[in-house]
Amino acid sequence: MTNQSKPGKDSSTRKKFILWGAALLGSLGILKYINRKPVEEKKTTVKMLSQDGTLVEVDISKINSAAKKKVTDDELKNWVTKR
């Protein structure tokens, strides 16, 4: 007695394994696109601190490009007015 497996059974299990693997990879690919977060729009406003200490939103187009320099700590302490 020889213990030989049937040739049809090996190929069918191999085919099932490949099909299940392809189905799994395909479903993961589809889930990637379903769970996608919406693309955020480009910001047109910036939050800035006003002279009286309140936080305001300013349109980026209204900011002067020459005024975009970093302020020192001493300038900031003297700029904010206390109520």
- Give a yes or no: residue 51 inside a domain: yes
Could you report the average pLDDT of every consecutive run of 10 residues in the chain (83 residues)? 56 89 88 74 83 87 73 79 64
Please list the residues that pair with 58 across neighbouring strands: 46
- Per-residue confidence (pLDDT) for residue 56, from 0 to 100: 92
Give the domain extent around 58: 45-79
- Give a yes or no: residue 26 inside a domain: no
- Per-residue confidence (pLDDT) for residue 29, from 0 to 100: 82
- Give a yes or no: residue 67 inside a domain: yes
- Give a yes or no: residue 9 inside a domain: no
- Give a yes or no: residue 36 inside a domain: no
- Per-residue confidence (pLDDT) for residue 18, from 0 to 100: 93
Please list the residues that pair with 48 across neighbouring strands: 56
- Give a yes or no: residue 4 inside a domain: no
- Give a yes or no: residue 40 inside a domain: no
Report how many domains make up the chain: 1
- Per-residue confidence (pLDDT) for residue 5, from 0 to 100: 53
